[in-house]
Structure 1
Amino acid sequence: MIGRLNHIAIAVPDLAVAVATYRDQLGAQVGAPQALPEHGVTVVFIDTGNTKVELLEPLGAGSPIAGFLEKNPAGGMHHICFEVPDIAAAVSRLVSGGARVLGDGQPRTGAHGNPVVFLHPKDFSGTLIELEQVRG
C-alpha cells in the first residue's frame, strides 16, 4: 500500500536556528519557509535527493506540535510521511483494519498541495504516520 518515504519531519523550537544549523553545519540546501495556518505550523523542506527532511515550527499557540515541544524542548523527530497513490482507498483499508485516522478522518491539503491524513501513533509503534497522496 505505501510507496516511497516522502519526508521525515522534525519539530524545532526555532525554525531560523534550525535552518541555519542544517545549512551551515550540514551544507543542506533549504527551501523557503512556508506558513500552513490550517496545520498550525511553519515548515521548511530540505531536499536530500532521495527524500526530504521537513523542519516544523509551531504557528500560533494552538499548534498541534506545541505539546510535542513542551515534552521535547530541544525538538525531535515528529512524524514520517509515506506516499500513497489513493488516499481514500488507503484510509478505508486502514480503518477497516482498526487503525485510527486523526482529526475528522478526512484528508486535508498538505504542504505540497496534496491530500494528507495522519494516523494515530499508538497504532504504529509510537510513531505518528502521515500519508500523502501522490500520483505518478
Structure 2
Amino acid sequence: MITRLNHVAIAVPDLKKAAAQYEALGAKTSAPQDLPEHGVTVVFVTLENTKIELLHPLGENSPIGKFLEKNPAGGIHHLCFEVENLETASKTITDLGARLLGNGTPAIGAHSKPVVFAHPKDFQGTLVEFEQS
C-alpha cells in the first residue's frame, strides 16, 4: 500500500537560512510556496532519492508556529508516504485503530494531491502524512 517515502518535513524558524544551508551542500531548492489552507510556507529540497520539505509558519494560527514554540530550533515535523489509493489507505489506517486528523477527509497538499494525516500517538509518536501517488 505504501509505495515510497515522498518527503521528510522539517519545521524551521528561518526559511531562507535553512534553504541556503541545503543549497550550499549542492541540493536544489524550490521557491517558497505559501499554503494558507495549511498555515505554512514551504520550500522543497530535492534530492535524488527523496525530498525534504522545509516548513515555516504562515499566519497566527499556524500549526508550525505552535511546533516552533515548543522546539525553537526547529526539528522533524512529519514523514510523508505515497500510497496508491488514499481511500483504501485511509480505511486501513482507521481499521488498525489509528485516528486521522481533522474530519478524516483528504485535503489538497503541497504537491496538489490529496493527503491525510494520521495522529502521532497512533504511529509511534510520529505525525505521518499519506499522499495519493
- Does 1:32 find its partner at 2:22? no
TM-score of the aligned structures, taking structure 2 as reference length: 0.97
Aligned to 2:92: 93
What is the CA–CA distance in structure 1 between the aligned matches of 2:64 and 2:43, rounded to whole Å? 15
Which 4+ stretches in 1 moved above 3 angstroms?
A: none
What is the CA–CA distance in structure 1 between the aligned matches of 2:9 and 2:30, rounded to whole Å? 14
Aligned to 2:121: 122
Aligned to 1:113: 112
- Does 1:75 find its partner at 2:82? no
| SS at 1:45 equivalent | strand
* Unaligned stretches of 5+ residues in structure 2: none
Paired residues, number: 133
Aligned to 1:47: 46
What is the CA–CA distance in structure 1 between the aligned matches of 2:87 and 2:63, rounded to whole Å? 23
Deviations 1:24-75 (A, max 9, x none): 2x22111111100010000000110111000000001100111111111010
What is the CA–CA distance in structure 2 between the aligned matches of 1:86 and 1:69, rounded to whole Å? 32
Aligned to 1:10: 10
What is the CA–CA distance in structure 1 between the aligned matches of 2:94 and 2:7, rounded to whole Å? 23
Q: Which amino acid aligns with 2:112?
A: G
* Unaligned stretches of 5+ residues in structure 1: none
Aligned to 1:20: 20
2:39 and 2:62 in contact (8 A); partners too:
yes
TM-score of the aligned structures, taking structure 1 as reference length: 0.95
Structure with the bigger percentage of strand? 2
What is the CA–CA distance in structure 2 between the aligned matches of 1:129 and 1:29, rounded to whole Å? 24
Identity %: 64
What is the CA–CA distance in structure 2 between the aligned matches of 1:101 and 1:6, rounded to whole Å? 19
Deviation of the 1:104 alpha carbon: 1.0
Deviation of the 1:84 alpha carbon: 0.3
What is the CA–CA distance in structure 2 between the aligned matches of 1:80 and 1:93, rounded to whole Å? 18
